[in-house]
Structure 1
């Protein structure tokens, strides 16, 4: 009777957790020695019942949202085109040694004892050292060549004089008109600046210098000589406005454009759709140098990221660091973000690294349909005000971005959550989270659901043969 009472007390405590999160049930079999006394049996059963009735510890793989099979269909992956492929950039040309780049003295050719002033003037010899007859021959030949050059010079002189007398005056009149028009526009701009200055609280101050070299993206800048990791200005399309970005010129031969960075929790990533579209945060700051050498926390912007990945075949490097200083990375050789009309759909391929293939294979701790719920490849971008995730439900409260702290390519819901909430110290629990979910900066395949990274960044680079 006592045993039956204990079992009745324990079953309600265990069953709800099992039915909520798992498809499989665990049965514990207790074998009691018949030779023991009734009191020993009773105390042993009480101990086992106490262990069973204890509150179960929070299960690690929390990222998925379990199915209610009575009303929900099993999840399926969205079809997505593979990332843009092709040749892309040509391999970088080998760097020349600075000593090889120094110009040596020009040595003019020697033909028959005659020193020529330039290769194009072969045959023009004003002095000879092989005797009087040769000198007379070369002197006559020189007279003929010089006569031809005099004729050519006269023709050029007449052409220039004609332009000066006829064409230049009319061109000057046109230029004067253009200058007058520009002068009027400058006056309008000066008036507009004077008006705006009245609204300024203080004059703008540049905290650090911006390099002169710029390009389509950071790899282009690297090839033009910008080999210092700092903030640059890039312009992927000549018909769009240039913008600032941090370029990593050191990692894996440099040329990386930083599109996302988390490092200190200084920027809130729980933003709306339009903010993720445009981008937000602090690109870079000065770490004591005269240039912006230290990246800040920011999201570059979905429109910009999509544009950069459409230039040609692109790869993405995702780096992360825990609170012990250990580091891992995930490199995807193919990475394309589609435009806003396609809800910035994610397409990745060719994984390499030691962090785990969270984007393509989902959370390694889960299996079957639960794991399918955490695959990110093919997903649309979601924010708390634009629900495009794979959690198909009629309940508006069940939304991945709202529960998991940021905008991302959520499925139902995630194996990776780089834009989640920043938790100091790494380990956190469901009762610390706003909605009781694993909403930290998570990469499940490395640290599980309940560990938030100290640092995580995403950087892209055009693919080209090494």
Structure 2
């Protein structure tokens, strides 16, 4: 396009030159001059044409170079854009790192504050401990006086118990003077026949010694033989057979069903005779039930029911009967009447949860919390753990957090 425009420019220039020399065509010399000028002009045009072609070639080369450079620029722009993306990503990474560093610094600051607070708390605890020591030192005399009073009360109880035992031993000695052979037997053997329903015509003897002269006042550890059960030992006290005893917390009463069925513990200490044995001993006869309770302050109480009976294992050893109640009416099992026995692994009570798990021991629960003589033992005489119940039977403890330190449950045939 540029070369075409340049040729037109040259044509116009040539016509102008010819117009300016039109007056000179009349002479021969002028014509020759015109020819000469035209020749020169042709040469000039050729030269210019060559120059134009050369310039066009150079222009084409330049265009190619420009196109190549444009591609290079595009590639550079792409590279720059990639670099910008990388820089943006790196910037975001750096910002995230800065955020994490700020979070770490904030966490470190919080930790430092917590450490400072802990140091303050430790100082306060040290001050509290020091104050507690001072209070403890100030109250040591009062505590010692209280302990001495408790010891004196316990000593009075022990003295009274010793007096009672002394009287019993004197009675036994008097009896043994007349029956010397019986006094040499450390463990009394009582072959007891307790008939089941299929043996109603057999002997109905119960806790009667067959040695000829009777048993000395019904005290000591006796061996009992019942048809269908292995022989077992049981303590007797004034003809009352002890079937449960709590006195020092040495035995765990939070046990499964099988343990309560078979019995556990030491008959010379804390123990539970066993539901199957109690069931066998209370069938087909009228049985009296005696419950004795004691508190840490030395106070005691007891009550008697005149017709105690439980069901078989098929009936979950249900508390079928208690009869009439005598002595201390503040101890009441009436609330537990007609309830099946519940243990930590067999829930037979009416409460939504397992009462044996809540009360830490098996018993004839209805909906927990009323009377539990197999609960957790607290030697202090009161419950020291939150959400726990001890050994209790409501009314006598006035619904306080009292936990009895002594329990003894005994049975004997009515009239014996």
TM-score (norm 1): 0.44
Higher helix share: 2
Structure ranking higher on relative contact order (CA contacts 8 Å, 6+ apart):
1
Return the TM-score normalized by structure 2: 0.50
